[in-house]
């Protein structure tokens, strides 16, 4: 592990606590009782085969999906639902939900930039509309975020004028502008070709090095192994393994994980493990 990375923040409360979360779509139980805690100030990677429920879990933590049962805490504060003494859930007020959600940043596989706004406009939108900042102040802050992802000279470009990698970096800047405590990534490089994947992963590596809390759903096993402090392996809606990269990727290896990793080893990622 790199020695330049700062140690996790001193507080013991995890950035995200997931307790007994299930998610049902009709008859399919996509998540079957997940317990997970995401440490503050480090990178946690969620890996697993397609359909294992890792994206659904991330979307539940972003409150884009509502967990069917269970609790999610953001630095100890309940997200969406409060749990009573007998385990019954009651929905929080929209204001409370938004207050907790505003502490989470989300980056999507499809970037989801707003096409009618420039890169800077995308980054500044919530600062002006939600945080009620002055346009000029918001633009200063937005420019700072764009230079953090190396795109200060693309501020006036529309998403259609940017490459996929640049769009994803703008999306990261947009999430960073709100100064979130946790940044969630849902397969951020899955729709990029290998060359563009690198520039996005570099930005994420810098964020990890700066001590941000990242929770990353990814198929980039090399990234997970080198940047991830914790790795969680999901399979068929269950959290099968949860530990450090050494614990998971070292020998002896869990047979199901070994089977999953073989597809990557074929592609030469073995050297990274």
Partner 1 sequence: MTLDFGLMLDKMPEILSGLWVTLWMWVVSTILGAALGFLVATARRYGPAAVNWFLKLCVEILRGTPFLVQLFLLYFGGPFVGLRLEPVPAGLIGLTIYASAYFSEIFRAGFQAVPRGHVEAAECVGLSRTQILRRIIAPEMTMLVLPQCVNMAIILIKETAILSIITVPEMTMVIGAIGSQQYAFVDAMFLLAIFYWVLVEICGFLGRLAEARLSKFRFAVS
Decide: residue 251, CB within 10 A, 0-12 exposed, 13-18 middle, 19+ buried.
exposed
Q: Per CB under 8 A, does 108 bind partner 1? A: yes
User: Please, which of residues 45-84 interact with partner 1 by CB under 8 A?
Assistant: 62, 64
Q: Is 67 or 104 the residue whose CB approaches partner 1 more closely?
A: 104
Q: Is 111 or 249 the residue whose CB approaches partner 1 more closely?
A: 111
Residues 6+ apart with CB under 8 A from 103: 74, 75, 180, 181, 182
Q: Is 175 or 201 the residue whose CB approaches partner 1 more closely?
A: 175
Smallest gap from Cβ 202 to partner 1, in A, equals 18
User: Please, which of residues 19-48 interact with partner 1 by CB under 8 A?
Assistant: none
Dist CA 209 CA 189 (whole Å): 19
Interface residue with partner 1, options 5, 75, 101, 236 (CB under 8 A): 101
Q: Per CB under 8 A, does 214 bind partner 1? A: no
The closest alpha carbon to 110, from 204, 176, 189, 178, belongs to 189
> Cα–Cα–Cα angle for 187, 191, 193, nearest 5°?
120
User: Please, which of residues 160-199 interact with partner 1 by CB under 8 A?
Assistant: 160-162, 164, 167, 171, 174-175, 178, 191-192
Radius of gyration of the chain measured on its C-alpha atoms:
19
Q: Per CB under 8 A, does 244 bind partner 1? A: no
Q: Per CB under 8 A, does 114 bind partner 1? A: yes
Q: Which residues of 53-79 are buried (b: 16+ CB within 10 A; e: fewer)?
A: bbbbbbbbbbbebebeebbbbbbeebb
Q: Is 107 or 234 the residue whose CB approaches partner 1 more closely?
A: 107
Interface residue with partner 1, options 84, 115, 255, 268 (CB under 8 A): 115
Q: Is 9 or 64 the residue whose CB approaches partner 1 more closely?
A: 64
Dist CA 150 CA 145 (whole Å): 9
Dist CA 62 CA 104 (whole Å): 7
Q: Per CB under 8 A, does 151 bind partner 1? A: no
Interface residue with partner 1, options 41, 70, 78, 159 (CB under 8 A): 159
DSSP 164: H
Interface residue with partner 1, options 22, 68, 69, 112 (CB under 8 A): 112
58 contacts 186 by C-beta, under 8 angstroms: yes
Smallest gap from Cβ 147 to partner 1, in A, equals 20
73 contacts 17 by C-beta, under 8 angstroms: yes
The closest alpha carbon to 44, from 273, 228, 238, 250, belongs to 228
Smallest gap from Cβ 266 to partner 1, in A, equals 26
Residues near partner 1, by CB under 8 A: 62, 64, 98, 101-102, 104-106, 108, 110-116, 125-126, 129-130, 158-162, 164, 167, 171, 174-175, 178, 191-192
């Amino acid at each position: 592990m790199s020695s330049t990375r700062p140690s996790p923040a001193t507080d013991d409360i995890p950035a995200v606590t997931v307790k007994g979360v299930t998610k049902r779509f009709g008859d399919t139980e996509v998540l079957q009782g997940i317990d997970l805690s995401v440490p503050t100030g480090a990178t946690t990677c969620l890996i697993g085969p397609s359909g294992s429920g890792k994206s659904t879990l991330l979307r539940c933590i972003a409150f884009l999906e509502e967990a069917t049962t269970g609790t999610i805490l953001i630095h100890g504060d309940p997200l969406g639902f409060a749990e009573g003494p007998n385990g019954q859930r009651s929905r929080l007020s929209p204001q409370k939900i938004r207050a907790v959600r505003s502490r989470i940043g989300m980056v999507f596989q499809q970037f989801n930039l707003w096409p009618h706004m420039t890169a800077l406009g995308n980054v500044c939108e919530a600062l002006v509309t939600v945080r009620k900042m002055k346009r000029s102040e918001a633009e200063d802050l937005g420019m700072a975020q764009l230079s953090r992802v190396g795109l200060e000279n693309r501020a006036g470009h529309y998403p259609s004028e940017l490459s996929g990698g640049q769009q994803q970096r703008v999306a990261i800047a947009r999430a960073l502008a709100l100064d979130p405590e946790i940044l969630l990534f849902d397969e951020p490089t899955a729709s990029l070709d290998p060359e563009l994947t690198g520039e996005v992963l570099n930005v994420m590596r810098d964020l990890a090095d700066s001590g941000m809390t990242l929770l990353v759903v990814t198929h980039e096993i090399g990234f997970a192994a080198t940047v991830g402090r914790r790795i969680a392996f999901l399979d068929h809606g269950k959290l099968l393994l949860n530990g450090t990269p050494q614990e998971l990727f070292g020998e002896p290896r869990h047979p199901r994980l070994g089977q999953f990793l073989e597809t990557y080893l074929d592609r030469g990622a073995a050297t990274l493990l």
